A and B are shown apart, each in its own frame.
Chain A
């Protein structure tokens, strides 16, 4: 019931709104009626009325607003407070007449949403003014004004209002209206409504929000900005995400416009670190009485300096690297020299911030993380200059070992789902990934989970060798961990000491004999023979064993161990990726000096340098959207969207898919067909393990076939398709989607990649599983079609101002919509699916493309 309404109403309303009869004034006036949406529901507004009443600037909420905005805003703020009733009008007038004024100066107006809502209530008559002003405006407003001239339709007005008021009004709709509505009032309303959504929900649309902010007109920008600024104050992570995305999505603009664009300005503001939560600032000032001077004054030069940095990045790097070494090592040194004394958090903060403010003049709050990311990118850049994989790998390991010296620090992986501090990079585990010219690499990162990475104290450094001392009894009191920590570590890591495989206790010591008498006591729990050898000692009777047994055991043990890939210097990642994740976690945890801590976690991340991940991010969003649609519609399609972090237009990070290797690696290493590999890994046809894996394969295959069709994912060779340990396939590398395809050689004309090998795994064309596969696709397509708008919206907004190849040409969105086949009946859809599957299977081009990839890139 609710679904249908949700499904119909937005599109319907949208149509209505776009129709000539829809009027802007109507929307605005409709908005003026309720003051509830922003005032009643959310705690945020509770403080804003006081701000608008013109309280002294020293009051905290007002302080929040005024800081970072500049003096101008203060003046305007008071003025606005006085003429609360004319806020909206004033604002519009200001914007139109004075184009030079930064939108920042108007921010307070919007933040104090309740203020103008209140004002509009009484002064509805005046609300016509903006439209009049708008009429006088030249071209950009011409369409708008044309629409505004239309008389309002009372029924639509109430519809829109009811929709906005309703529980069904979700973030997706909000974004949609923000994008489609040309009415400042609607935009401003939605801008305020953003505050009422859950952070995570809005975060999903952050790329869309920011892209709109950058590339759309000022009304949209003004509507979005307060929310962004508010969230930036709250979270370092959000700040950095915004700054990175703003940089990346501004990059397609012409360089001259870019420099003065809104996006660049907001980015500078964020990076200047002006946007601090007021409470924290106060707290810090209290905590450190001798703090040199208030941050704003101090930061002013830093802001200017930073304005230059994007264009002169290389020039600035050495300095900033030094900065990070200063800031991080100051931490390190103290703890390392005396690990028993834990320096308090506040000391840490003040000392690091002091040194930074004095020595570098750059802001403190964001710096460690930015430097961390920067050094990771720097490594990638340097690796790219090395000729062979082997050299790259070695260099990577040594670079990371240097990085380790600066950890732990207040840095984190933005791809992770929980708050943490990075404590160590197990450098020897890092691998360079397969890429021809670039040097993407995968690192594993040890982190300690914490309440909040901004406020929790940074963990104390534990030296590498500490693992030895923690594990040997003699040094227990000496190892810098409190007893209760250790106790809990033993409970959370079962078998910690009993684990046969681990060299946990000083087990070598057991082998080492000082006196022959100890022989009998030395017990080797690994080899059966040693047990025998003890008995032989006791009984003094010779023990005989068959040579055949030894040989047999050797073959058996080798067969028992999970299939591993052989080391190949040309493909270093294969082995690392093949190792089961749990196994890897266990192994790294054992070898880590932090491994005993209960909140220890292992993360991994792929660092990409020289690659534009914006398309990947777009694909991720679409996949994520489709995933939730399918989940909502209960279609058991399986896809795995992996997180993407866009850092700039040519760098970023990717969350690796764990327990998965590419089909190319599978085939090259195993020299088996895909089906035989399934049999080898999961067992015979009838086993449950095999059947489960097969079902997983089918569900994921169907999911990705749809994805590939809808998004027109190209470049589908086996190096870009992963197979996980449960049998799922996972497509990676969305470098060619929508309107772009590699080299335009006319390859890959089929709807998606479906090779005979895939069909074999599904049990052949006549099998039940194959029918299941087709049925899943049909269901998936129907479900996707139902929610098409949600998918289209993501893509469409990102097309704004974008030069990305996936938006090449003018028909990208239209073609995308067409692929949802809104006009077809379900029966017709079924035929369509059959056709696509048939076509893909018969497609010679898929095979040709694989052959082509094999010839050019050696991908099997």
Chain B
């Protein structure tokens, strides 16, 4: 079957109308003949004044045109003129009343962009512009093109046309691997289509059909020469304050992430299904070589990037995160009827379900209330499970960066800690040998910040591996730090089982110590250790401002005393390194200084506990007994106040993250380019649609 399809596409590429019985005689499509004509004659319109009219009435043969453009050689000047002329007429045709012409012109433009870029891969951006449009006319032509696209996108015209416009733009934006080298985008910067994108997002029906493409396009445009010049899309995105638009954007992201979560859950259930499904899986996997890959659902960095840009650039977007609506369960709802939308043009376009503007929410008692943040947290929990894969690692990193931005935003912090907004967030947890999968039902309904904390603890516990994701750990600990700073500042006493966090952090230190040599070769583990110790210092010296109960303060001491060996070892190691001359001298000595209070606690209480045991003749003290000792011996303990514990470095994309984002955008561009397919839009559908219009 596959080969069949390949053969078919081969034919199309060759411009064959149909495969004749023995290929003796090949009939060429008229449009193909016309293409040939464009590139052979000076001006095809000379012999046939209606040439261009006719051309755009013909069904486009994308494959042939693209192939033709790639294989063109001969007189540079003549080729350039021909291409310029074709481009010019495409742009002219966009303004035609006849919608078929517009459709064909859009598709032809797409082929033009692709073909010309493919052919001139090594050429500079300016050469390509010259080749496509011609330098002298470029500004005007591109202006006309963008204006046409803008009016098509904003007009009341056909949805298919809008879809095609977006596809063309995506095609144009992703035509180079590195978006910043795509010089032709300068014209897209000058002639902004930002407003058109916003309009699509703000309108319910258009968002349902084009929202995904619009959001991805926006995310990519924002990343054009982000660090080098003033990108108008960045500026504009950062000041959007129209709620409907922002909500719409959030909705698109929410749906895409929900869809991913659902797919993952389905896969998981499939895997853990009954005997029969296991059997079929086994049988199935015998035939499918890359069964492993099939099991992991492709992550969607494009949508995640859009979420990041929205959260990072636009301060109003934060409210959208908390906008609650019922969880959309795609499986339960019939696929809505969107006749003109091609099926999943970019891989994961979710069906058009728009809860927000439904006047009534569906009446399903099992429907959990959700919001974008919850969906995002769930998504993150899935993505973070397995960071071995490059894509997954990038996704996990981006998730943590987004969470960092959220943790820094005070409005977000306010609703994260809102005691009245309680949710059950079922995070995905990696199945591990030494622990059972927690029953979903048992998760209590808590403020959202608890879910964030849980996610961080979960990450800390599950990623102590050889390929140590140092960078992710740093972000993770910093997110916790930022949240605690907010709690301290606002005196929010979160009823959270802090113990889990403490023991996770101590275990992390333990892991760092036991893998000191391998880790030190690659990472500055002292930096991470310092962050962890300072988190403890926050609890020790500022615990009175944010701990929920006095006994939780006792428990902190209990935990430190119980695990004192780890802190002792850390101190020894840091001291040893700091006395040696080397690159880690300074960071190591910082850790020794930071440990002063922890060591004071250990040194203060250990003898007390021992003497208590001795006096009472108990070999092993119970937790209550230790707590009793702790409680009765606070007053003789003196702590040293440390500076700057509640201060943190604000997230900034530049310069630290620029490399990451450049790579990320590159991989997204490749992926989008691969998936933008204009052929999914069947001509029949279009014709049907237009026959009623024109």
Q: A residues near B, CB below 8 A? A: 318, 321-322, 325, 333, 336-337, 339, 378, 382, 385-387, 390-391, 393-395, 397-399, 401-402, 405, 428-429, 431, 463-465, 467-469, 501, 503, 506-508, 511-514, 519, 522, 524, 526-527, 529-530, 532-533, 536-537, 542-548, 550-551, 553-555, 557-558, 567, 569, 575-576, 591
For B554, the chain A residues whose CB sits under 8 A away are: 551
1/0 per position for B305-337, CB-CB distance to A under 8 A?
000000000011011000111100000000000
Q: A398 and B326: CB pair below 8 A?
A: yes
Q: A336-B242, A402-B325, A428-B418 are in contact. Are A543 and B649 (CB under 8 A)?
A: no
Q: A526 and B491: CB pair below 8 A?
A: yes
Of chain B, the residue at the smallest CB distance from A547 is: B637
Of chain A, the residue at the smallest CB distance from B415 is: A428
Chain B interface residue count, CB cutoff 8 Å, equals 71
Q: A519 and B489: CB pair below 8 A?
A: no
Q: A382 and B316: CB pair below 8 A?
A: no
Partner of A512, one of B243, B408, B415: B408
- Any chain A CB within 8 A of the CB of B634? yes
Q: A395-B369, A547-B638, A550-B541 are in contact. Are A465 and B318 (CB under 8 A)?
A: yes
Closest beta carbon of chain A to B248's beta carbon, Å: 12
For A401, the chain B residues whose CB sits under 8 A away are: 323-325
Q: A337-B242, A394-B369, A463-B241 are in contact. Are A533 and B360 (CB under 8 A)?
A: no
Q: A336-B243, A507-B489 are in contact. Are A546 and B637 (CB under 8 A)?
A: yes
**B343-351, B505-513, B545-553 - the one binding chain A:** B545-553
Partner of B638, one of A464, A503, A546: A546
- Any chain A CB within 8 A of the CB of B618? no
Q: A508-B410, A511-B647 are in contact. Are A551 and B445 (CB under 8 A)?
A: no
Of chain B, the residue at the smallest CB distance from A555 is: B550
Q: B649 and A513: CB pair below 8 A?
A: yes
For A545, the chain B residues whose CB sits under 8 A away are: 541, 638-641
- Smallest CB-CB A-B distances: 10 pairs: A548-B635, A548-B634, A398-B324, A554-B544, A394-B369, A547-B637, A428-B420, A321-B359, A543-B641, A553-B544
Q: A513 and B644: CB pair below 8 A?
A: yes
Q: B241 and A544: CB pair below 8 A?
A: no
A386 to B545 Cα, complex, angstroms: 38
Q: A544 and B640: CB pair below 8 A?
A: yes
Closest beta carbon of chain B to A589's beta carbon, Å: 14
Q: B488 and A527: CB pair below 8 A?
A: yes
For A548, the chain B residues whose CB sits under 8 A away are: 634-637
For B232, the chain A residues whose CB sits under 8 A away are: none
Q: A503 and B410: CB pair below 8 A?
A: yes
Partner of B325, one of A387, A398, A532, A575: A398
Closest beta carbon of chain A to B249's beta carbon, Å: 14
- Any chain A CB within 8 A of the CB of B591? no
6 more A-B residue pairs beyond the given contacts A513-B644, A529-B542, A547-B540, with a C-beta to C-beta distance below 8 A: A465-B319, A503-B410, A512-B649, A543-B641, A550-B639, A569-B444
- Any chain A CB within 8 A of the CB of B650? yes
A245 to B560 Cα, complex, angstroms: 67
Q: A336-B242, A554-B547 are in contact. Are A524 and B356 (CB under 8 A)?
A: no
Partner of A382, one of B319, B363, B543, B635: B363
Closest beta carbon of chain B to A631's beta carbon, Å: 38
Task: Give the residue among B356, B540, B635 with the most A Cβ atoms within 10 A.
Answer: B635
Closest beta carbon of chain A to B546's beta carbon, Å: 9
Of chain A, the residue at the smallest CB distance from B493 is: A558
A397 to B361 Cα, complex, angstroms: 12
Sample (28) of A-B pairs whose CB atoms are under 8 Å apart: A321-B359, A325-B357, A325-B359, A333-B244, A337-B242, A391-B365, A391-B369, A394-B368, A394-B369, A398-B369, A399-B361, A503-B489, A506-B410, A511-B489, A512-B647, A512-B650, A514-B650, A519-B644, A519-B647, A522-B647, A527-B545, A542-B640, A547-B637, A550-B541, A551-B544, A554-B547, A558-B493, A576-B420
Of chain B, the residue at the smallest CB distance from A537 is: B643
Q: B369 and A567: CB pair below 8 A?
A: no
Q: A536 and B643: CB pair below 8 A?
A: yes
Q: A429 and B369: CB pair below 8 A?
A: no
Q: B634 and A546: CB pair below 8 A?
A: yes
A710 to B634 Cα, complex, angstroms: 61
A398 to B644 Cα, complex, angstroms: 40
A386 to B326 Cα, complex, angstroms: 13
For A385, the chain B residues whose CB sits under 8 A away are: 363, 365
For B544, the chain A residues whose CB sits under 8 A away are: 550-551, 553-554, 557
For A386, the chain B residues whose CB sits under 8 A away are: 365
Q: B residues near A, CB below 8 A? A: 241-244, 315-316, 318-319, 323-326, 356-357, 359-361, 363, 365, 368-369, 408, 410-411, 413-415, 418-423, 444-445, 485-486, 488-491, 493, 495, 540-545, 547, 549-550, 553-554, 601, 634-644, 646-650
Closest beta carbon of chain A to B358's beta carbon, Å: 9
A532 to B542 Cα, complex, angstroms: 12
For B601, the chain A residues whose CB sits under 8 A away are: 547
Closest beta carbon of chain B to A262's beta carbon, Å: 35
Closest beta carbon of chain B to A319's beta carbon, Å: 10
Closest beta carbon of chain A to B318's beta carbon, Å: 7
Q: A567 and B325: CB pair below 8 A?
A: no
A121 to B650 Cα, complex, angstroms: 89
A554 to B541 Cα, complex, angstroms: 11
A390 to B441 Cα, complex, angstroms: 13
Q: A468 and B411: CB pair below 8 A?
A: yes
Partner of A519, one of B356, B363, B493, B643: B643
Of chain B, the residue at the smallest CB distance from A475 is: B315
Closest beta carbon of chain B to A333's beta carbon, Å: 7
Q: B315 and A468: CB pair below 8 A?
A: yes
A437 to B419 Cα, complex, angstroms: 26
Q: A463-B316, A508-B408, A545-B541 are in contact. Are A397 and B421 (CB under 8 A)?
A: yes
Closest beta carbon of chain B to A852's beta carbon, Å: 30
Q: A322-B359, A336-B243 are in contact. Are A547 and B634 (CB under 8 A)?
A: yes
Q: B545 and A339: CB pair below 8 A?
A: no
Q: B359 and A530: CB pair below 8 A?
A: no
Q: A402 and B639: CB pair below 8 A?
A: no
Closest beta carbon of chain B to A602's beta carbon, Å: 15
Of chain A, the residue at the smallest CB distance from B359 is: A321
Closest beta carbon of chain B to A655's beta carbon, Å: 21
Q: A519-B643, A526-B545 are in contact. Are A554 and B241 (CB under 8 A)?
A: no
A697 to B161 Cα, complex, angstroms: 74
For B638, the chain A residues whose CB sits under 8 A away are: 544-547
For B414, the chain A residues whose CB sits under 8 A away are: 503, 591
A386 to B491 Cα, complex, angstroms: 35
For A532, the chain B residues whose CB sits under 8 A away are: 641
Partner of A544, one of B363, B368, B639: B639
Partner of B491, one of A321, A501, A537, A567: A501
For A467, the chain B residues whose CB sits under 8 A away are: 411
Closest beta carbon of chain B to A478's beta carbon, Å: 9
Partner of B639, one of A501, A526, A546: A546
Q: A318 and B647: CB pair below 8 A?
A: no
For A554, the chain B residues whose CB sits under 8 A away are: 543-544, 547, 550, 553
Of chain A, the residue at the smallest CB distance from B407 is: A508
A557 to B488 Cα, complex, angstroms: 13
Q: A512 and B648: CB pair below 8 A?
A: yes
Task: Give the residue among A532, A548, A554, A557 with the most B Cβ atoms within 10 A.
Answer: A554
For B365, the chain A residues whose CB sits under 8 A away are: 385-387, 391
A816 to B359 Cα, complex, angstroms: 48
For A591, the chain B residues whose CB sits under 8 A away are: 414
Closest beta carbon of chain B to A601's beta carbon, Å: 20
Q: A511-B647, A522-B647 are in contact. Are A463 and B324 (CB under 8 A)?
A: no
For B646, the chain A residues whose CB sits under 8 A away are: 511, 524, 530
Task: Give the residue among A321, A387, A401 with the most B Cβ atoms within 10 A.
Answer: A401
For B542, the chain A residues whose CB sits under 8 A away are: 527, 529
Q: B421 and A318: CB pair below 8 A?
A: no
A625 to B544 Cα, complex, angstroms: 52
Q: A569 and B445: CB pair below 8 A?
A: yes
